[in-house]
Amino acid sequence: MDEDDPKEYRWETGYEKTWEAIKEDHEGFLETSVADIILRAKRKRQAQKHGNTKLGMMRHLYVILDCSESMSSQDLKPTRMLCTLKILEGFIEEFFDQNPISQMGIILMHNKRAEKASDLGGNFRKHIKYIKTLNKTNLVGEPSLQNGLEVALSSLKLLPSHASREILVVMGSLTTCDPTDINNTIEKLKQEGIRCSIIGLAAEVHVCRTLANETKGTYNVILDDAHFKDLLFQQVEPPPAANALESSLIKMGFPHQMNAEGTDEPLTMCMCHVDSVDDSSKLTTGGYYCPQCLSKYCELPVECRACGLTLVSAPHLARSYHHLFPVANFEELPFNNQANICYACQKTFTDTEKWVYQCPTCTRVFCIDCDIFVHDTLHTCPGCATNLSTFQITNT
Protein backbone atom coordinates (compact mmCIF):
# COMPACT_ATOMS: atom_id res chain seq x y z
CA MET A 1 0.00 0.00 0.00
CA ASP A 2 2.89 2.32 0.64
CA GLU A 3 3.89 4.34 -2.37
CA ASP A 4 7.34 5.35 -1.14
CA ASP A 5 9.11 2.25 -2.33
CA PRO A 6 7.25 0.45 -5.07
CA LYS A 7 9.60 -2.53 -4.92
CA GLU A 8 8.72 -3.48 -1.40
CA TYR A 9 5.39 -5.15 -0.80
CA ARG A 10 3.57 -5.11 2.44
CA TRP A 11 4.38 -8.74 3.18
CA GLU A 12 8.05 -8.00 2.76
CA THR A 13 8.09 -5.17 5.31
CA GLY A 14 8.57 -5.57 9.01
CA TYR A 15 6.09 -7.20 11.29
CA GLU A 16 3.41 -4.66 12.27
CA LYS A 17 1.49 -5.18 15.46
CA THR A 18 -1.57 -3.22 14.38
CA TRP A 19 -3.66 -4.47 17.29
CA GLU A 20 -1.35 -2.89 19.82
CA ALA A 21 -2.32 0.58 18.67
CA ILE A 22 -5.83 -0.02 20.00
CA LYS A 23 -6.12 0.42 23.73
CA GLU A 24 -9.10 0.17 26.01
CA ASP A 25 -10.12 3.34 27.80
CA HIS A 26 -10.75 3.38 31.52
CA GLU A 27 -14.30 2.13 31.05
CA GLY A 28 -13.13 -0.75 28.94
CA PHE A 29 -14.38 0.56 25.60
CA LEU A 30 -12.46 0.61 22.35
CA GLU A 31 -14.46 3.35 20.66
CA THR A 32 -12.47 6.30 21.96
CA SER A 33 -9.26 4.68 20.82
CA VAL A 34 -10.62 3.99 17.34
CA ALA A 35 -12.01 7.52 17.04
CA ASP A 36 -8.62 8.80 18.08
CA ILE A 37 -6.91 6.80 15.33
CA ILE A 38 -9.33 8.19 12.72
CA LEU A 39 -8.76 11.77 13.86
CA ARG A 40 -5.04 11.23 13.83
CA ALA A 41 -5.17 9.92 10.27
CA LYS A 42 -7.11 13.04 9.27
CA ARG A 43 -4.57 15.30 10.90
CA LYS A 44 -1.74 13.48 9.22
CA ARG A 45 -3.27 14.09 5.83
CA GLN A 46 -3.72 17.77 6.61
CA ALA A 47 -0.12 18.06 7.66
CA GLN A 48 0.93 17.01 4.17
CA LYS A 49 -0.84 19.94 2.58
CA HIS A 50 1.30 22.93 1.80
CA GLY A 51 0.36 26.36 0.68
CA ASN A 52 1.90 28.27 -2.15
CA THR A 53 2.50 25.32 -4.43
CA LYS A 54 1.25 25.89 -7.91
CA LEU A 55 -1.89 23.88 -8.36
CA GLY A 56 -3.63 22.79 -11.52
CA MET A 57 -6.85 24.66 -10.88
CA MET A 58 -8.49 24.21 -14.26
CA ARG A 59 -8.80 20.48 -14.21
CA HIS A 60 -9.92 18.33 -17.09
CA LEU A 61 -10.61 14.89 -15.75
CA TYR A 62 -11.67 11.75 -17.56
CA VAL A 63 -13.08 9.03 -15.36
CA ILE A 64 -12.51 5.66 -17.01
CA LEU A 65 -14.90 3.17 -15.55
CA ASP A 66 -14.46 -0.57 -15.82
CA CYS A 67 -17.76 -2.12 -16.96
CA SER A 68 -16.45 -5.61 -17.53
CA GLU A 69 -17.74 -8.85 -16.09
CA SER A 70 -15.54 -8.50 -13.03
CA MET A 71 -17.61 -5.51 -11.89
CA SER A 72 -20.58 -7.77 -11.19
CA SER A 73 -18.64 -9.43 -8.38
CA GLN A 74 -20.35 -9.13 -5.03
CA ASP A 75 -17.41 -8.41 -2.77
CA LEU A 76 -18.65 -4.83 -2.49
CA LYS A 77 -22.33 -4.70 -1.62
CA PRO A 78 -24.64 -5.03 -3.51
CA THR A 79 -22.25 -5.39 -6.45
CA ARG A 80 -18.99 -3.68 -7.31
CA MET A 81 -20.69 -1.71 -10.06
CA LEU A 82 -23.59 -0.40 -7.98
CA CYS A 83 -21.32 0.49 -5.11
CA THR A 84 -18.95 2.32 -7.45
CA LEU A 85 -21.79 4.27 -9.04
CA LYS A 86 -23.14 5.33 -5.67
CA ILE A 87 -19.77 6.57 -4.49
CA LEU A 88 -19.02 8.16 -7.85
CA GLU A 89 -22.20 10.23 -7.61
CA GLY A 90 -21.01 11.78 -4.38
CA PHE A 91 -17.55 12.27 -5.85
CA ILE A 92 -18.88 14.20 -8.86
CA GLU A 93 -20.84 16.55 -6.64
CA GLU A 94 -17.89 17.17 -4.36
CA PHE A 95 -15.52 17.52 -7.33
CA PHE A 96 -17.53 20.33 -8.88
CA ASP A 97 -18.08 21.92 -5.51
CA GLN A 98 -14.35 22.18 -4.92
CA ASN A 99 -13.26 22.69 -8.53
CA PRO A 100 -15.99 24.91 -9.94
CA ILE A 101 -14.38 25.77 -13.25
CA SER A 102 -13.19 22.27 -14.03
CA GLN A 103 -14.54 19.78 -16.51
CA MET A 104 -15.16 16.07 -16.35
CA GLY A 105 -15.95 13.29 -18.80
CA ILE A 106 -16.75 9.60 -18.46
CA ILE A 107 -15.42 6.67 -20.50
CA LEU A 108 -16.68 3.10 -20.18
CA MET A 109 -14.61 0.00 -20.82
CA HIS A 110 -16.38 -3.21 -21.67
CA ASN A 111 -16.13 -6.08 -24.11
CA LYS A 112 -12.52 -5.06 -25.03
CA ARG A 113 -13.75 -1.70 -26.26
CA ALA A 114 -13.76 1.77 -24.83
CA GLU A 115 -16.67 4.08 -25.34
CA LYS A 116 -16.85 7.76 -24.55
CA ALA A 117 -20.04 7.95 -22.56
CA SER A 118 -20.14 11.64 -21.81
CA ASP A 119 -17.95 14.39 -23.15
CA LEU A 120 -15.91 16.79 -21.07
CA GLY A 121 -18.33 19.20 -19.48
CA GLY A 122 -18.76 21.38 -16.47
CA ASN A 123 -22.37 20.60 -15.68
CA PHE A 124 -22.48 18.16 -12.78
CA ARG A 125 -26.21 17.54 -13.09
CA LYS A 126 -25.71 16.10 -16.54
CA HIS A 127 -23.01 13.72 -15.30
CA ILE A 128 -24.99 12.60 -12.28
CA LYS A 129 -28.03 12.00 -14.45
CA TYR A 130 -25.88 9.87 -16.71
CA ILE A 131 -24.35 7.93 -13.82
CA LYS A 132 -27.84 7.12 -12.60
CA THR A 133 -28.70 5.48 -15.91
CA LEU A 134 -25.58 3.31 -15.79
CA ASN A 135 -26.89 0.75 -13.31
CA LYS A 136 -28.63 -1.07 -16.11
CA THR A 137 -25.59 -1.47 -18.37
CA ASN A 138 -24.52 -4.95 -19.34
CA LEU A 139 -21.32 -5.94 -17.64
CA VAL A 140 -19.73 -8.08 -20.33
CA GLY A 141 -16.31 -9.25 -21.45
CA GLU A 142 -12.91 -7.98 -20.48
CA PRO A 143 -11.81 -4.36 -20.22
CA SER A 144 -9.11 -2.87 -22.41
CA LEU A 145 -7.06 -0.37 -20.46
CA GLN A 146 -5.15 0.72 -23.56
CA ASN A 147 -8.28 1.52 -25.54
CA GLY A 148 -9.66 3.46 -22.62
CA LEU A 149 -6.49 5.51 -22.26
CA GLU A 150 -6.30 6.14 -25.99
CA VAL A 151 -9.84 7.53 -26.12
CA ALA A 152 -9.09 9.85 -23.21
CA LEU A 153 -5.76 10.84 -24.73
CA SER A 154 -7.24 11.74 -28.12
CA SER A 155 -9.63 14.14 -26.44
CA LEU A 156 -7.23 15.59 -23.84
CA LYS A 157 -4.53 16.19 -26.46
CA LEU A 158 -6.57 18.98 -28.03
CA LEU A 159 -6.91 21.04 -24.86
CA PRO A 160 -4.99 24.28 -24.40
CA SER A 161 -1.68 24.07 -22.58
CA HIS A 162 -2.80 25.79 -19.39
CA ALA A 163 -5.34 23.09 -18.59
CA SER A 164 -4.47 20.46 -16.03
CA ARG A 165 -5.19 17.11 -17.64
CA GLU A 166 -5.98 14.02 -15.62
CA ILE A 167 -7.33 10.51 -15.99
CA LEU A 168 -8.85 8.52 -13.16
CA VAL A 169 -9.32 4.80 -13.75
CA VAL A 170 -11.58 2.67 -11.60
CA MET A 171 -10.44 -0.87 -12.35
CA GLY A 172 -12.25 -3.96 -11.17
CA SER A 173 -10.61 -6.46 -13.44
CA LEU A 174 -7.18 -7.98 -12.87
CA THR A 175 -6.54 -8.32 -16.60
CA THR A 176 -6.59 -6.04 -19.60
CA CYS A 177 -6.99 -7.08 -23.22
CA ASP A 178 -5.06 -4.67 -25.41
CA PRO A 179 -4.61 -4.47 -29.20
CA THR A 180 -0.93 -3.41 -29.10
CA ASP A 181 1.80 -2.68 -26.59
CA ILE A 182 0.36 -0.62 -23.72
CA ASN A 183 3.82 0.78 -22.85
CA ASN A 184 3.68 2.97 -25.97
CA THR A 185 0.44 4.48 -24.74
CA ILE A 186 1.95 5.06 -21.31
CA GLU A 187 4.93 6.77 -22.94
CA LYS A 188 2.58 9.03 -24.94
CA LEU A 189 0.63 9.95 -21.84
CA LYS A 190 3.87 10.78 -20.06
CA GLN A 191 4.98 13.04 -22.89
CA GLU A 192 1.68 14.87 -22.89
CA GLY A 193 1.94 15.38 -19.12
CA ILE A 194 -1.37 13.69 -18.40
CA ARG A 195 -1.61 12.50 -14.82
CA CYS A 196 -3.17 9.04 -14.48
CA SER A 197 -4.45 7.79 -11.14
CA ILE A 198 -5.90 4.35 -10.64
CA ILE A 199 -8.08 2.84 -7.97
CA GLY A 200 -8.04 -0.94 -8.04
CA LEU A 201 -10.98 -2.85 -6.63
CA ALA A 202 -9.32 -6.25 -6.55
CA ALA A 203 -5.54 -6.47 -6.16
CA GLU A 204 -2.39 -4.71 -7.27
CA VAL A 205 -1.57 -5.12 -10.94
CA HIS A 206 1.88 -4.38 -12.33
CA VAL A 207 0.78 -2.46 -15.41
CA CYS A 208 -1.36 -0.12 -13.31
CA ARG A 209 1.52 0.53 -10.95
CA THR A 210 3.78 1.37 -13.92
CA LEU A 211 1.17 3.66 -15.43
CA ALA A 212 0.69 5.58 -12.18
CA ASN A 213 4.41 5.85 -11.47
CA GLU A 214 5.31 6.99 -14.96
CA THR A 215 2.61 9.66 -15.15
CA LYS A 216 3.04 10.87 -11.54
CA GLY A 217 -0.39 9.69 -10.52
CA THR A 218 -1.40 7.58 -7.56
CA TYR A 219 -2.28 3.90 -7.43
CA ASN A 220 -4.25 2.41 -4.59
CA VAL A 221 -6.15 -0.79 -4.00
CA ILE A 222 -9.22 -0.56 -1.83
CA LEU A 223 -9.75 -2.45 1.41
CA ASP A 224 -13.52 -1.98 1.67
CA ASP A 225 -16.20 0.47 0.54
CA ALA A 226 -15.34 3.09 3.16
CA HIS A 227 -11.72 3.02 2.08
CA PHE A 228 -12.83 3.20 -1.55
CA LYS A 229 -14.80 6.35 -0.80
CA ASP A 230 -11.87 7.82 1.06
CA LEU A 231 -9.49 7.11 -1.84
CA LEU A 232 -11.86 8.52 -4.43
CA PHE A 233 -12.47 11.68 -2.43
CA GLN A 234 -8.75 12.28 -2.19
CA GLN A 235 -8.93 13.00 -5.92
CA VAL A 236 -11.13 16.01 -5.20
CA GLU A 237 -8.17 18.13 -4.09
CA PRO A 238 -6.46 19.74 -7.07
CA PRO A 239 -3.06 18.15 -7.70
CA PRO A 240 0.18 20.15 -7.90
CA ALA A 241 0.61 21.57 -11.38
CA ALA A 242 2.68 19.46 -13.74
CA ASN A 243 5.92 20.99 -14.96
CA ALA A 244 4.71 21.04 -18.52
CA LEU A 245 1.75 23.15 -17.49
CA GLU A 246 1.91 26.60 -18.97
CA SER A 247 0.17 29.43 -17.29
CA SER A 248 -1.86 31.94 -19.16
CA LEU A 249 -4.54 34.51 -18.67
CA ILE A 250 -7.94 33.25 -19.69
CA LYS A 251 -10.65 35.55 -20.88
CA MET A 252 -13.83 35.10 -18.89
CA GLY A 253 -17.19 36.76 -18.71
CA PHE A 254 -18.97 37.72 -15.51
CA PRO A 255 -22.65 37.92 -16.39
CA HIS A 256 -25.05 39.91 -14.30
CA GLN A 257 -28.77 40.01 -14.35
CA MET A 258 -30.13 42.67 -16.65
CA ASN A 259 -32.79 44.82 -15.24
CA ALA A 260 -33.70 48.31 -16.13
CA GLU A 261 -35.08 50.21 -13.17
CA GLY A 262 -38.77 49.65 -12.58
CA THR A 263 -39.40 47.44 -15.59
CA ASP A 264 -39.99 43.72 -15.63
CA GLU A 265 -37.67 41.56 -17.67
CA PRO A 266 -39.11 40.16 -20.89
CA LEU A 267 -39.84 36.45 -21.14
CA THR A 268 -37.02 34.68 -22.94
CA MET A 269 -35.62 31.19 -23.48
CA CYS A 270 -32.26 30.08 -22.19
CA MET A 271 -29.59 28.69 -24.47
CA CYS A 272 -28.77 25.70 -22.28
CA HIS A 273 -32.11 24.00 -22.74
CA VAL A 274 -33.09 25.30 -26.16
CA ASP A 275 -32.30 22.12 -28.08
CA SER A 276 -32.54 19.43 -25.46
CA VAL A 277 -35.31 16.95 -26.08
CA ASP A 278 -36.26 15.62 -22.68
CA ASP A 279 -36.60 18.85 -20.71
CA SER A 280 -37.44 21.55 -23.14
CA SER A 281 -36.74 25.20 -22.60
CA LYS A 282 -39.45 27.27 -21.00
CA LEU A 283 -40.00 30.98 -21.18
CA THR A 284 -38.59 32.52 -18.04
CA THR A 285 -37.74 36.00 -16.84
CA GLY A 286 -34.51 35.76 -14.86
CA GLY A 287 -31.19 34.45 -16.10
CA TYR A 288 -27.59 35.28 -16.83
CA TYR A 289 -26.67 37.10 -20.01
CA CYS A 290 -23.32 36.65 -21.74
CA PRO A 291 -21.69 40.10 -21.69
CA GLN A 292 -20.31 39.55 -25.18
CA CYS A 293 -23.22 38.25 -27.21
CA LEU A 294 -26.15 38.53 -24.78
CA SER A 295 -27.22 34.90 -24.98
CA LYS A 296 -29.12 33.84 -21.91
CA TYR A 297 -28.21 30.94 -19.62
CA CYS A 298 -30.10 29.67 -16.62
CA GLU A 299 -27.10 28.55 -14.62
CA LEU A 300 -23.40 29.18 -14.23
CA PRO A 301 -20.60 28.26 -14.86
CA VAL A 302 -21.09 27.57 -18.55
CA GLU A 303 -19.28 28.08 -21.82
CA CYS A 304 -21.25 30.40 -24.05
CA ARG A 305 -22.62 28.40 -26.98
CA ALA A 306 -22.67 31.37 -29.26
CA CYS A 307 -19.29 33.02 -28.70
CA GLY A 308 -17.33 30.48 -26.65
CA LEU A 309 -16.64 32.78 -23.72
CA THR A 310 -16.40 31.05 -20.32
CA LEU A 311 -19.08 32.50 -18.09
CA VAL A 312 -18.56 32.35 -14.32
CA SER A 313 -19.62 34.31 -11.29
CA ALA A 314 -17.14 35.74 -8.83
CA PRO A 315 -18.08 33.40 -5.96
CA HIS A 316 -17.32 30.44 -8.23
CA LEU A 317 -13.75 31.56 -8.45
CA ALA A 318 -13.65 32.39 -4.74
CA ARG A 319 -14.75 28.86 -3.91
CA SER A 320 -11.37 27.53 -4.98
CA TYR A 321 -9.20 30.19 -3.33
CA HIS A 322 -8.89 28.12 -0.16
CA HIS A 323 -6.82 25.55 -2.03
CA LEU A 324 -4.27 28.25 -2.70
CA PHE A 325 -4.30 29.83 0.74
CA PRO A 326 -4.80 26.98 3.20
CA VAL A 327 -4.95 27.61 6.95
CA ALA A 328 -1.65 27.03 8.74
CA ASN A 329 -1.48 23.72 10.57
CA PHE A 330 -2.21 24.00 14.27
CA GLU A 331 0.38 22.83 16.76
CA GLU A 332 -0.53 19.93 18.98
CA LEU A 333 0.22 20.71 22.62
CA PRO A 334 -0.40 18.63 25.72
CA PHE A 335 -3.28 20.13 27.70
CA ASN A 336 -1.84 22.21 30.47
CA ASN A 337 -4.60 24.68 31.34
CA GLN A 338 -3.59 26.99 28.48
CA ALA A 339 -7.20 28.11 28.24
CA ASN A 340 -10.48 27.33 29.92
CA ILE A 341 -12.53 27.05 26.77
CA CYS A 342 -11.98 26.35 23.08
CA TYR A 343 -11.83 29.76 21.43
CA ALA A 344 -14.10 28.79 18.56
CA CYS A 345 -16.83 26.48 19.87
CA GLN A 346 -16.74 27.56 23.56
CA LYS A 347 -16.34 23.98 24.75
CA THR A 348 -15.04 23.88 28.30
CA PHE A 349 -11.78 21.99 28.56
CA THR A 350 -11.84 19.37 31.31
CA ASP A 351 -9.20 17.02 32.66
CA THR A 352 -10.16 14.36 30.14
CA GLU A 353 -8.66 16.54 27.42
CA LYS A 354 -5.23 15.27 26.48
CA TRP A 355 -4.27 17.54 23.64
CA VAL A 356 -5.18 21.02 22.60
CA TYR A 357 -4.36 22.73 19.33
CA GLN A 358 -2.83 26.14 18.90
CA CYS A 359 -2.79 28.33 15.81
CA PRO A 360 0.79 29.53 15.22
CA THR A 361 -0.39 32.91 13.90
CA CYS A 362 -2.93 34.09 16.46
CA THR A 363 -1.90 31.71 19.33
CA ARG A 364 -5.51 30.92 20.18
CA VAL A 365 -6.25 27.47 21.59
CA PHE A 366 -8.77 25.11 19.99
CA CYS A 367 -10.20 21.66 20.65
CA ILE A 368 -9.54 18.76 18.29
CA ASP A 369 -13.02 18.88 16.73
CA CYS A 370 -12.58 22.52 15.81
CA ASP A 371 -9.10 21.79 14.47
CA ILE A 372 -10.56 19.26 12.05
CA PHE A 373 -13.55 21.47 11.20
CA VAL A 374 -11.40 24.51 10.51
CA HIS A 375 -9.03 22.64 8.22
CA ASP A 376 -11.56 20.41 6.48
CA THR A 377 -14.50 22.70 5.97
CA LEU A 378 -14.11 26.26 7.14
CA HIS A 379 -10.65 27.08 5.75
CA THR A 380 -10.48 30.19 7.94
CA CYS A 381 -8.97 30.27 11.41
CA PRO A 382 -11.60 31.88 13.68
CA GLY A 383 -8.86 33.25 15.91
CA CYS A 384 -7.00 34.95 13.07
CA ALA A 385 -10.19 36.21 11.46
CA THR A 386 -11.26 38.02 14.63
CA ASN A 387 -7.87 39.54 15.25
CA LEU A 388 -7.11 42.88 13.64
CA SER A 389 -3.44 42.19 13.03
CA THR A 390 -3.89 38.75 11.49
CA PHE A 391 -7.24 38.69 9.72
CA GLN A 392 -5.86 39.19 6.26
CA ILE A 393 -4.41 36.14 4.64
CA THR A 394 -0.76 36.93 4.47
CA ASN A 395 0.91 34.10 2.61
CA THR A 396 0.35 35.50 -0.87
Partner 1 sequence: MVLSMQKSFERFYLKKMNNIELRTENEPDVSSTDETSLLVIIIDTNPTQKLLRDKASQLTTVVDSVIAFANSHLMQKAQNKLAIMACHSKTSQFVYPGPRKPVDVRQVDGQYEIFLQVEKTVKQNLSLLLASENSTIATESLLAGAIAMALCYIARIQRTKSAGIKLNSRILIVSGSGDSASQYMNYMNVFFTAQKQNVVLDVCTLDQHLSLLQQGCDITNGLYLKVPQVSALLQFLLWVFLPEPPIREKLVLPPPVKVDYRAACFCHRELIDIGYVCSVCLSIFCKFSPICTTCHTVFKIPGPLAVKSKKKKMKL
Binding site for partner 1 (CB under 8 A): 54-55, 57-58, 101, 161-163, 241, 246-257, 259, 291-292, 309, 313-315, 317-322, 324-325, 340-347, 369-370, 373-374, 377-382, 384-388, 391-393, 396
CA triple 169-172-177, angle to 5 deg: 80
Contact of 338 with 354, CB cutoff 8 Å: no
* Least Cβ distance, residue 325 to partner 1 (angstroms): 7
- Per DSSP, the three-state class of 362 is coil
Given the complex with partner 1, which of 217 and 255 has the nearer CB atom?
255
CB nearer to partner 1: pick between 100 and 172: 100
**Count of CA atoms in the C-beta half-sphere (13 A) of 2:** 10
Nearer to partner 1, 72 or 313 (CB): 313
- What's the gap between Cα 221 and its chain centre? 17
Q: How far is the CB of 47 from partner 1 (least distance, A)?
A: 20
Minimum separation from the CB atom of position 142 to partner 1 (A): 39
CA nearest neighbour of 157 among 120, 198, 197, 113? 120
What is the distance between the alpha carbons of residues 170 and 222, in angstroms, rounded to a whole number?
11
How far is the CA of 272 from the CAs of 34, 303, 305, in angstroms? 49, 10, 8
> For residue 350, what is the DSSP state?
-
Task: Specify the residue, 204 or 265, whose C-beta has the smaller distance to partner 1.
Answer: 265
Beta bridge partners of 366: 357
Minimum distance of partner 1 from residue 311's CB (angstroms):
10
Q: Which is nearer to partner 1, 108 or 194 (CB)?
A: 194
Identify residue 308 by its one-letter amino acid code: G
Q: What's the closest the beta carbon of residue 375 comes to partner 1, in angstroms?
A: 12
Q: Which is nearer to partner 1, 18 or 377 (CB)?
A: 377
The helix/strand/coil state of 222 is coil
Secondary structure class of 94 (helix, strand, coil): helix
Least Å distance, CB 323 to partner 1, is 9
Q: Which residues pair with 165 in a beta bridge?
A: 60
- Do 330 and 272 meet the contact criterion of CB atoms below 8 Å apart? no
CB of 28 or CB of 315, closer to partner 1: 315
Q: How far is the CB of 390 from partner 1 (least distance, A)?
A: 10
Helix (H) or strand (E) holding 214: helix 206-214
